[in-house]
């Protein structure tokens, strides 16, 4: 698909008609490192000192798993509904609208199935930020 657009338009366009992104693997790794590590590396020594040599690495492993699951879920939302031919979601709100629908806060009515998710989500966020 992307090749057809290049041949038709004579410019470097992606399959959705937007300019082709120029990121490389190294720029991707640099952005992930700055986003994930960020200022959290400053408190890493203190938190491991407080938790100890057994619980500290276990906590880091748990947070690594949570981060990995988040990355997998978000990357699965990049193209919806199909990962190859689906439309791209360029922002987080686009991905939310595609997957959850365009519910405005005034029209949102919580369901009983939302309560366990909200409870777990809030607790994980509190623990993650501590």
Contact yes or no for 89/79 (Cβ under 8 A): yes
pLDDT of 50 reads 93
In tens, the pLDDT along 92-120 reads 788 877 777 766 666 667 677 777 878 88
Burial class (CB in 10 A: 0-12, 13-18, 19+), 14: middle
Residue 58, token pair as written in the block: 């276990």
pLDDT of 2 reads 47
In tens, the pLDDT along 77-93 reads 888 777 778 788 888 78
Residue 115, token pair as written in the block: 């309560």
Residue 97: alpha-carbon gap to chain centroid: 15
């Amino acid at each position: 698909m992307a090749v057809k657009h290049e041949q038709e338009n004579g410019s470097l366009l992606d399959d959705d008609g937007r300019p082709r992104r120029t990121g490389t693997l190294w720029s991707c790794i640099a952005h992930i490192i700055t986003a994930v590590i960020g200022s959290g590396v400053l408190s890493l020594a203190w938190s491991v000192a407080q938790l100890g040599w057994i619980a500290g690495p276990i906590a880091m492993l748990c947070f690594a798993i949570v981060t990995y699951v988040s990355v997998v879920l978000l990357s699965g939302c990049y193209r919806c509904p199909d990962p190859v031919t689906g439309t791209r979601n360029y922002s987080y709100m686009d991905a939310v609208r595609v997957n959850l629908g365009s519910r405005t806060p005034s029209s949102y009515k919580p369901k009983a199935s939302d309560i366990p998710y909200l409870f777990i989500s809030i607790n994980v966020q509190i623990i993650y930020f501590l």
